[in-house]
Amino acid sequence: MKKFLKYALYLSFALVLQQELFGNLHFGQNRLLIITKVGLILAFFEIFLKPIVKILLLPISILTLGLIRIVINTLGLYLASSLVSAFSVSSFTIYGWSLVGFWAYLGTSFFISVFLYFFKII
């Protein structure tokens, strides 16, 4: 339970940091409640569902030399946006590249994963 709450807090901070840096996340009216819900959903995905999905996609992971892992993180973000109707991911621009649709989810999940990694090592 302690690990779950710690991950939820880290992921909530990562969501806020992603929003402040890139501005592509939309949280609706009650921002704090939506951030907390999305953080809890992402923590549930990270701790319980992600290991199962990794095992199921092990052959693809071997073939792609582990690059499928970022797509697995994207699935978690898509799950959160589909479960919480007030949360959405929109397009954003980084280094002149405009990321829309699936690529926006992929880029956002990449940066959230990087932020989560830094929060875990601190």
Tens digits of residue pLDDT in 26-50: 998 999 999 999 999 999 999 999 9
Q: For residue 113, what pLDDT is reported?
A: 92
pTM of the entire structure?
Answer: 0.90
Instruction: Give the SS3 label for residue 92.
Output: strand
Q: Where in the chain are the domains?
A: 2-121
DSSP state of 118: H
Q: Are 91 and 98 in contact (CB under 8 A)?
A: yes
Q: What does the pLDDT look like over 51-65, one tens digit per residue?
A: 999 999 999 999 998
Among the listed residues 87, 1, 74, the one whose alpha carbon sits nearest the alpha carbon of residue 39: 87
Q: For residue 56, what pLDDT is reported?
A: 94
- Model confidence at 77, pLDDT cuts 50, 70, 90, reads very high
Cα–Cα dist 22/26, whole Å = 11
